[in-house]
Structure 1
Amino acid sequence: MNLFVFGFGFSARHFAESERSRFTTVRGTVTEADRARKLAAETGFTLRAFGPETDDPGIADDLADTDILLVSAPPGPHGDTALSRYRAAIAASRIRWIGYLSTIGVYGDQGGAWIDESTIATPKSARSRERLAVEEAWLALGAETGKAVQVFRLSGIYGPGRNPIVKLREGRTQRIVKPGQVFNRIHVADIATTLAASIDRPRGGAIYNVTDDEPAPPQTVIEHAAALTGLPLPPAVDFETADLSPMARSFYGENKRVRNGLIRGELGVTLAYPTYREGLAGLVSDAERGR
């Protein structure tokens, strides 16, 4: 069974490496040729350059020799670049499972309410509206071709090298307080577990929320990370006066609590890190063991 990944980033790499034993060949794309060569040397996988201005000629042959396709690249200026360029090749291939990594941002602001996959997506930002349009395009391809296309709506991703502990250690985080604001999160290992479970139980047209059990205020997570590590706790900063980029500020404009019952009930997923507490503790333990 061969895997191909459009967008070999943080989540996709973790999935490919953690599930390496199930695949005969792993191939994928990054946006720059130099990055492709570096990652190929690090992982042993075949990586190719692909983006708005790049297109390795080997990709078409790779897709013809692919069984499992994971799409982890963000939308381009005119939708999904992979789908616009390779729709015909994918449709004609033997690919049987397609996973599209999206975001819970497509639900927009829900005023802090609990939501699940039955909640109507009402994206607020242009970025999330683009994501929803790409979700629909991939699902339409599945409906037309009979290939099992699944959409995975991810909450805030963290894991080794990308987490509040790293930010505390590097002094590049703020303890921002906005009353009533909560976020869900998901450890990258639990994303990989969910994708593997879906490959074993494909359901064309499925949409899954991939998220932890406990939405929590962002300052609470920072405080817990500091307590676990003994690192200095940044002073509390009011959201209204915080120094945030427009994109970072936009995340605080959406408030929701996301349920994950479908991945548990349908796919049989047991989260290794059901809340930020287990996730951060696991990262500390891994760091102590030099992992």
Structure 2
Amino acid sequence: MRIGAIEAGGTKFVCGVGDEHGNIVDRVSFPTERPEPTLERVIDYFRDKKVEAIGIGTFGPIDIDPSSPTYGHVTTTPKPGWSGFDFLGTMKRAFDVPFGWDTDVNAAAYGEAVWGAAKGLDSCVYYTFGTGVGVGIFAEGRLVHGLLHPEGGHVLTRRHPDDTYEGFCPYHGDCLEGMAAGPAIERRWGVKGSELPPDHPAWPMEAFYIGQALASTIVLLSPKKVILGGGVMHQKQLFPMIREEVKRNLNGYVAHDAILKGIDDYIVPPGLGDNAGLCGALALGLAALRVQS
């Protein structure tokens, strides 16, 4: 099979072609501009690829309700030109193939469930910590949508006792995204996180916020695997700190061996690495093809 995949990020688009086993055989990436020139490049890429379906995992918020008149649109976003844009419709007008359509983080969660760290499990949660914070939820064998779709980056947090940073989220200030996304690290400490040493006090503070969020996720959703991706999580020293924060916050209440004895295998980086989003989009396209068949 030849399946198209689009990982549509706020900073860059990644397009690729893969097969039913999750193998990416070709890819291209380019900066995210206004919608028309960006999708023109996407359409040009796929024009000669002869794909049987295309999966799209995109930044949001987006409308993923098939019964909605604005299904397939980007909804409210500060990205110039994208608010209200008919992303999916534009692609459907260019290609007469089945389309999968979901958020970028739901796509990543799905890819991890099909081919990655949560393979063989019927539930997982995927967090990305980068320029923003996003959450994808795969539960009881399906992706969670609901009223809109999960926006777990905007849960409220307790403030670290030594933290005076006000938070950068324009809606909530000191929500999880406002305190723990990449821009929060840079604005709090004056340099990008990638320039801070592993023993810098930024990292225990970051783990404090992420650990809170994961503990809440565990008691609310009871996922069988928690996967942490995104640029911030390239700081591998964060993982043991986060696991300890989760155990501290749960305080023995969730008395399961996965947490009490095996937390190193419970809170993990993506099994698909930086391909989680693109492979997830590939899985969405494959699922759409199977539904139509």
Query: TM class, shorter-chain normalised?
Result: 0.3 to 0.5
* TM-score under structure 1 length normalisation: 0.36
TM-score normalised per structure 2: 0.36
